[in-house]
Every structure is written in structure tokens, then in C-alpha cells.
Structure 1
Amino acid sequence: MSDETRYKLSFTTGGLLANECRVLAAEYLRLGDWREARASVRANNLIQKRTASAVARISREAMDRVRMLTDAELEIVVGGNAPERQQLVWLAICLQYPFVADFAEEEVREKYLSMSNELGPAALDTFFVKKSFWHGELEDLKPSTKNKLRQNLFRMLREAQIVSEAGHILPQVIGERVAEALRRRGPGSFLVFPITDFEIESLMHA
């Protein structure tokens, strides 16, 4: 992404939201309209949150994510297995939040390739410092906001099965349906996952 573009940094709560994304995607595929899909989810509390404000907040975030995906990818989110759903929702998050995509490629994947498979909070602190030279908005963040971003980013990484509970980077097994979706987007879409260049080359030409 361009270093001149301000990072969007609103991923402070909710984790991966894989199930919520599945629900929003299913309603969109049924109704054919995102506003109607979100209205249906809110009216019927299809994501089963305890308060109306939580339903509104979480449904908006989930919709913002799945709107980044194609209809073919949404079909996999709705009908696929858990690993497929997790991988495509992670892709959607990276498409929505270039900060997350850059961290996934430049820190998570690079550590994996260098066989330094432990990923702790310090990696994000280092990343903040490195990126703040080009993104002044990072310097303006309050410590409490940075902490929320850190907590939720690592929660998303764990729920996407990219990082283990113990903080180890997990190799990814990308099945044919997700691989086909990534192929359509181009080789760069594979870079948000901890996989090798050889694996990307193999998947691109499978």
C-alpha cells in the first residue's frame, strides 16, 4: 500500500468475527443488498448479542469486512469449513485494514520465513515505531488505544489460527477453494498468510 495513505485503525474490538461474518454474508447472498442484510441481522439479532448497541456495532464491523469479498468468496464463507472461513475472513480484514495487511506480510510472514516462529506483543511495538516514520497518525495514538489495537490484533491472529495461544506462528494449509479465490486476486493476496514463496508458486499454478 502507499505510505502516503493514512491507516484505518478501528479494529479495536470483536476479534475475527468469523461467525458474524458468515451470518452477514448469508443474509447478503439471500437478499442481494448489504443494507437490507444488515437491517435483517439487526432486526432479528441473528448474531445473538445481548444488547442492541452491541448488535449494531458488531454487525457494522462484520459487514465492513465481508463487503471486501467477492460473491464467490462469500459463498465459501457461508458454506465452507472453519479453516476456509477463517482464512477468507482474515483476508477480508487485511483488505479492509492495510495496517493489518502490512503487519501480516512484513512481521508475521517474514518471521515465519526466517524460522523465527515466535510472535509476541513486542513485534507490534517495533512495527508501530517503524511505520510511524511514514504514518504520523500512529504517533498520535493514545497508549490505551495502542493497547486495544494490540490486544485485538493478536486475538484475531489466534482466532484465524495464524498464531497459537502460546505465540507460535502456525503454518497454513490452504485448500483448493481458498487457493482459487486467492489466485483470482493475484499472488500478492497470499502474502498475508505465513506460507513460503515456493508454496505460493505451487498454489498459483495448481
Structure 2
Amino acid sequence: MSSSYLLSMSGSSARVQESLLAARLYLDMHDWNDVRKKIIDDNLFQLNAVSSRKRISQEIVKRLRHLSDSEAEFFASAIGDDRYAMLWIAICRTYQFVQDLSEQVIASRYEHSMSDFPQEAYDVFFEEQADIHPELARMTDLGRKKMRNTVLRLLVDCHLVDTDRKITPLRPTSAFREALGSEHAEELAVFPGKVF
């Protein structure tokens, strides 16, 4: 039996700049709970509502916790596609659904010379997974729509898909692959195109 998908994607977007800020704080504090508290108490994300500060900081910390210290260090100083690639790794490690979609649909379509990511491709994948994962089958139509929009926003924010739903492969440097390490080489499968 397959493990359950984690579906609580409360961040709604990748929030790249906020994620960088959190990672840099972590490298100073080395405690994710302290990082989250400082973000909320000092309003480092400049959000008016305390509830928003709590929700968004929780989401970002939840994702970044999946990076090793060396990966977080790489992410904190990375630029360009290296930055987006490491953040995508953190998101995929947090949400198995996103990882499976990225590998089985986005990367696969690109490999088979299909350069777009139409809504139908997402919907077919969702229905296939709903047969395996009852937590997906139980979602309301509204919940499904919100999740689809969130996943698309994450893909766009991390530069894997553009706003026209065209697949846009990342081109991280060899330093990204080295930061990921040979023990995580299989995770490169979430990226469309060859990642060197």
C-alpha cells in the first residue's frame, strides 16, 4: 500500500525571497523553531496579519527542514537556476505528490518532446493518483481546484513551467549537483531535460 500524500500546501507560492531569508537565518541560528519565531516576532516577511506570518513561516520552514545543512548553505548563497533547483528539491521532498507529478508528468512530457503542461495532463495524473491515494479521492472539487492552482504556481515560481504552461527546463550548474550529493542523484529525475 502506498503512503499517504501530504496535501496541506498552505503557502500558495514558492516565496523564493522569504525562503532565502529563512535559510540564511537558519545558518546563523541552527534551529528551525527559533527561525520561525524570529520571523513571526520581528515580522521579517512584512505581513500585516499575525495569522499570515504564522501560516507562511510554518510552510517555508516545513519545506526547508528537508534540506541538509550543506544544502541549505548552498541554497542561501545560490543564484539563478541553482537557487530555483534547490528550492524545488525542498518542495518535492515535502510533497510527494509534487515530486511524482514533476517526475512522471513534467519531466516525462519534456523527454518525449511534449513541451507543454496542459491542465488535462494534470487532471489525468490526479485521477490516476486518486485511485491509489484515497486522500485525493476524498477532496472536494474546490479543494482539487485550489491544489491544482497551487501546484501550477509553484512550478511557475520555480521556473519549471512558464505562465503559458510551456515547460522551461532549469539549467543548474555542476555545483548544484555536487551540493545535492551522489546519495540524492535520483532526485534529479524531477527536472525536465538533463541536469548536469
> TM-score higher than 0.5 here?
yes
Identity of aligned residues (%): 28
Residue 176 of structure 1 corresponds to 174
Q: Which runs of 5+ in 2 are unaligned?
A: none
1:9 partnered with 2:7: yes
1:70-85 alignment runs, 5 A limit: 70-85=68-83
C-alpha distance in 2, partners of 1:184/1:69?
15
Q: Deviations over 1:19-64 (max 9, x none)?
A: 1211111111111111111111111111111211111000000000
C-alpha distance in 1, partners of 2:182/2:50?
38
RMSD: 1.4
Residue 57 of structure 2 corresponds to 59
1:150 partnered with 2:129: no
What is the Cα deviation at residue 186 of structure 1?
2.9
Residue 91 of structure 1 corresponds to 89
Q: Given the two structures, how large is their TM-score scaled by the length of structure 2? A: 0.95
Q: Which runs of 5+ in 1 are unaligned?
A: none
The total of aligned residue pairs comes to 196
C-alpha distance in 2, partners of 1:49/1:115?
42
Query: Contact (CA 8 Å) 1:13, 1:148: kept in 2 or not?
Result: no
Residue 164 of structure 2 corresponds to 166
Query: Contact (CA 8 Å) 2:118, 2:165: kept in 1 or not?
Result: yes
What is the Cα deviation at residue 13 of structure 1?
3.9
Residue 191 of structure 1 corresponds to 189
Corresponding residue to 2:112 among 92, 111, 114: 114
C-alpha distance in 1, partners of 2:41/2:94?
25
Q: Deviations over 1:49-102 (max 9, x none)?
A: 121111100000000000000111111221111422211111101001000000
